Structure 1
């Protein structure tokens, strides 16, 4: 049985180290090729069809087990941080006195623009688990620069995520050459357009990039956080872990990059950025919904 679109495959020449979805087929230099999207890593790749092999459930589970363990660890660390922040705020707000006050939190609103609908679905599920308010939109990477500014005007988010798929190709140039990347130029252009709408780095916090993205250009364009300093692959959920930390950090506190990296799966090789203010606000009194 031949390889079909939407099949989950591995590349034999890479010892099937990453699971991919087949997106489409095309011809290149007389060879039948497949365009591949990573299942859990924000990576896009080309491969000869003859190099691909279908991954059975056992092999897929082997590849997923470690990643899922890392996901759970990151989730656990974030929940710990959120609990610590709330307890600290409650103590400060009541001056350490138990006066029966009930506080409510207003975490930062996220606009998450993703070039992959499957990744978007996974990310929205994690935002929900973390109680981060989010509006998710699927958008092709090449169309983001034209559509994101309008969504910023309409939704007025505190945090913007610009992500999808990317990859560096050594056959197209050096790692310093942004033309050697699939979508880094699209992400950079989108960040620039977003910054025209909101220039202040603390009024709109931007995460931009995907696997192997041109980190330096994204930061220079105006992103607070970006991938990938060492041109490594990043996990599909790393953008969520990054901005969730900001969403639940008080606006009076700064978010240091080292604290962000602690909660991500990829760490300092995949994510970097600049110190940024949090956006969480608290209020009182809390009241249940009126029936």
Structure 2
């Protein structure tokens, strides 16, 4: 079977462990993007196995089950936060709480248009305002300053695809990572825009990104502490948690990391306050 761009495949040399999409084919080599994981890889065409529709459905169902677990955890936390907000809005008195929430606005830069659409849909399910932009990872540093000026976000997500390439250097050699240096440059530019880590919250990174570099550059949250793959939707869970947490409350790191699909091996961060502010009274639109 002739392989074409957009085909779903696995790699025989990796025991067909992950589902990929073919991004491009050049000289008998395919550039691949993870279907669920934010990993960019290349492979010779003869190493690729086309995935049947049945196997594809099975793999996607397994992925959906993991997403559903994270979504339920997030919803449970959201309900608890809502009850605390009702109590805070009425100072503990038994009264009808007519408050409203100003949730943090997200600027989401994504190197993958397919993932950006999925992320945007999840933000909308969470009720989080978002402005999404699809940009090649290498072009992000050239565009982020103007986007920050235009959108004026409370939270910035800088993600896409990345990978640690063993044959290019050791784990601490930034040259061995496909896109970490571009993510880090974006973080530094964003920090010049707003230096306070509780006024502009930044998530940066993708699969196997150099976590320490991104945190030192100024990110609040980043991937990947253990240089493992992260799920396409992990950045959304973190950004949404920050967006919906009161500015009076600190983000409990374990709570936010457990809501991600990958967990603390794939995503980490520093102590950070929430962004959301309560207001009163709530006036219904006429």
Where on the TM-score scale, by shorter chain, does this alignment land: which range? over 0.9
Question: Matched residues in 2 for 1:19 and 1:227: separation?
Answer: 21
Aligned residue for 1:159? Answer: 155
Note the alpha carbon deviations across 1:235-266, whole angstroms, 9 max, x for none. Answer: 00000011111111100011122121111000
Is residue 24 of structure 1 aligned with residue 20 of structure 2? no
**Once superposed, what is the RMSD of the aligned Cα atoms?**
1.0
User: Which residue matches 1:95?
Assistant: 91
Pairing of 1:46-57 with structure 2 (within 5 A): 46-57=42-53
Which residue, 62, 66, 75 being the options, matches 1:79? 75
Q: Which moved more, 1:225-234 or 1:280-289?
A: 280-289
Give the TM-score taking structure 1 as reference length: 0.96
Cross-structure match for 1:209: 205
Contact kept in structure 2, 1:102 and 1:285, CA below 8 Å? yes
CA–CA separation in structure 1 for the residues paired with 2:98 and 2:7: 51
SS of residue paired to 2:264:
helix
Q: Give unpaired runs (5+ residues) of structure 2.
A: none
User: 1:64 offset after TM fit, Å?
Assistant: 2.1
The answer on 1:257 being equivalent to 2:256 is no
Match of 1:5 in 2: 5
1:106 to 2:99 alignment: no
Does residue 40 of the first structure (1) align with residue 36 of the second (2)?
yes
2:74 matches 1:66: no
1:222 is aligned to 218
Instruction: Report the Cα distance in structure 2 between the residues aligned to 1:184 and 1:25, rounded to whole angstroms.
Output: 24
Residue 269 of structure 1 is matched in structure 2 by 265
Does residue 1:124 correspond to 2:108, yes or no?
Answer: no
Alpha-carbon distance in structure 2 between the residues aligned to 1:140 and 1:257? 30
**Cα distance in 1, alignment partners of residues 107 and 30 from structure 2:** 32
Rounded Cα–Cα distance in structure 2 between residues aligned with 1:73 and 1:182: 31
- Shift in Å at residue 61 of structure 1? 2.2
Deviation at 1:62, TM superposition (A): 2.5
C-alpha deviation, 1:219, in angstroms: 0.3
Is residue 2:138 matched to residue 1:142? yes
CA distance in 2, matches of 1:9, 1:224: 35
How far, CA to CA, are the matches of 1:263 and 1:126 in structure 2? 14
**Post-superposition offset of 1:79:** 1.0
> In structure 1, the residue corresponding to 2:168 is in which secondary structure?
coil
Q: TM-score, normalised by structure 2?
A: 0.98
Partner Cα separation in structure 2 for residue 70 and residue 24 of structure 1:
29
Equivalent residue number for residue 183 of structure 1:
179
Q: State the Cα deviation string for residues 133-182 of structure 1 (Å, max 9, x = none).
A: 11101011011111111111111100000000000110000011010010
Runs of 4+ in structure 1 off by over 6 angstroms are: none
**Cα offsets for 1:52-78 (capped at 9, x unmatched):** 111012111232232211111111111
| Offset of residue 127 of structure 1 | 0.3
User: Matches of 1:61 and 1:15 in 2, distance apart?
Assistant: 18
* TM-fit CA distance, 1:98: 2.9
User: Quick check: 2:89–2:278 contact (8 Å CA) kept in 1?
Assistant: no
The CA distance in 1 between the partners of 2:29 and 2:76, in whole Å, is 46
CA displacement 1:76-122 (0-9 Å, x = unmatched): 11111111111111112213323223111111110000000000000
Q: Note the residue ranges of structure 1 that are not aligned, 5 or more in a row.
A: none
Cα displacement string for residues 179-205 of structure 1 (whole angstroms, at most 9, x for unaligned residues): 001000110111111111111101100
